[in-house]
Amino acid sequence: MRMIERLRNQGIGDEIVLSVMGSVPRHLFIEEALASRAYEDVALPINYGQTISSPWIVARMSELLRANGSLDKVLEIGTGCGYQTAILAQLARQVYSIERIGPLLTRTRIRLHKLQIRNIHLKHADGLRGLPEVSPFDGIIMTAVTTHIPNALLEQLAIGGRIVFPKGVQKQNLCVIERNVQGYIENVLEEVNFVPMLSGVIKS
């Protein structure tokens, strides 16, 4: 509950997001040795050179994603440890999540199964290609930094939908792309720090 109050004081105003954040046990998504730091506002390592984002980042990206209202179908690029996935599963009817690192996805699949989260679909693939076979999505969230959104992903966004992602090289900013009938509008927001988005897949 202290984490939720801190998020509220840091400007997170979506009470539905805050309620979901309060119901998902973050300590279950990190290594046992770091469990005592689970509810601090910091990113933590989760092996394979990846991190679990800070609670504020997870809350902020979730809030931005659902700013236009309720979510039906969401695509997450970068499943990681599954914490953001678990949050999204309570905010959207269906969540599709792609992870390029096979061993990481295997561990996450087991974790999410134990938590009995049923409305998620996990895939081992190159996230930059998206999932055209089940598009369009009314929300796309990217959990690693990139310099641009590929056209393949832009085309998978429904009209009225949003992509939330970190963008940059040395300096990174949280960005939102919205699609309307005329095209795409990008807004640049606060400065952030993410691991880089990489293409291809790792099997073992």
Residues catalogued as catalytic: 53
**Amino acid identity at 31:** E
CA distance 64 to 123: 24
CB 41 within 8 A of CB 11: no
Q: Containing H/E element for 90?
A: none
Say if residue 55 is preceded by a cis peptide, omega within 30 of 0: no
Query: How far are the Cα atoms of 38, 148, 154, 172, 191 from residue 195, in angstroms, in the given order?
Result: 19, 15, 22, 10, 14
User: Can you tell me which residue has the tokens 């609670």?
Assistant: 55
Q: Kindly give the residue spans of alpha helices, DSSP state H, lying in 43-140.
A: 55-65, 83-89, 102-114
Phi and psi, residue 59, nearest 5°: -65, -45
Instruction: Report the Cα 120 to chain-centroid distance in Å.
Output: 13
